[in-house]
């Protein structure tokens, strides 16, 4: 990948990472509920999900989705249903405790799984990368090498953005201890709305 092409992809990645979506919202809620350090497990799962989407788009899933609308429809319903389930669960969650020992009890594997599932079932990510990645590929160069550069670049920008969101949410803990119930309900409602709206797009 030429330097100019990589710089253009870097700028595109930053823009995509900064755009609001379910993974950013999950980092926000987990940062508030479990602290920024525990949310690293969520972010790691999200990044793995995005890397799997990028790999799938580069190595064939994009063509599969283009050949059959049923696969895309199924992915939209699956991703939507998962986000609705997460939203309902968050909506009914109690306000956070100021006791870090209590609030940091989120199981690492559970946080990782939630991040992974949210990332890999995001149809907007599939559509975006399917449409975007061919613009940056050089047919004269190794596809595997280009995959490494693309996946590493996007993972770096997404990691920086989600970490920033999680740290910011952690600093809101005193306010969330007072108004956390409303925060949970608002974020839960947004997740449900995103999940319900995915199949329609």
pTM above 0.85? no
Residue whose tokens read 């108004």? 179
Mean pLDDT of 106-112: 85
Angstrom distance (rounded) from CA 194 to CA 201: 11
Mean pLDDT of 138-151: 83
Q: What is the DSSP letter of 104?
A: T
Is the torsion defined by CA of 5, 59, 75, 188 positive or negative? negative
Look at residue 102 in the predicted model and tell me its pLDDT: 43
What percent of the chain lies above the pLDDT cut of 70? Answer: 71
Q: What is the pLDDT of residues 38-80, one digit of tens each?
A: 899 999 999 999 999 888 888 775 555 556 666 656 766 776 7
């Amino acid at each position: 990948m030429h330097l100019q092409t990589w710089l253009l992809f870097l700028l595109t990645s930053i823009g995509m990472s900064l755009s609001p979506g379910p993974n950013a919202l999950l980092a926000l809620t987990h940062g508030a509920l479990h602290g920024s350090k525990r949310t690293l497990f969520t972010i790691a799962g999200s990044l793995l999900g995005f890397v799997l989407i990028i790999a799938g788009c580069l190595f064939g899933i994009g063509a599969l989705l283009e050949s059959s609308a049923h696969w895309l429809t199924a992915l939209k319903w699956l991703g939507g249903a998962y986000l609705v389930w997460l939203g309902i669960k968050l909506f009914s969650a109690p306000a956070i405790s100021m006791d870090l020992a209590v609030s940091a009890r989120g199981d690492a594997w559970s946080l990782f799984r939630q991040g992974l599932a949210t990332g890999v079932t995001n149809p907007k990510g599939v559509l975006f990368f399917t449409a975007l990645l061919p613009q940056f590929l050089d047919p004269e160069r190794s596809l595997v090498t280009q995959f490494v550069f693309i996946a590493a670049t996007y993972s770096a920008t997404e990691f920086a953005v989600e970490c920033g969101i999680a740290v910011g949410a952690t600093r809101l803990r005193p306010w969330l201890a007072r108004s956390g119930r409303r925060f949970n309900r608002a974020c839960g409602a947004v997740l449900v709305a995103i999940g319900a709206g995915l199949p329609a797009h």
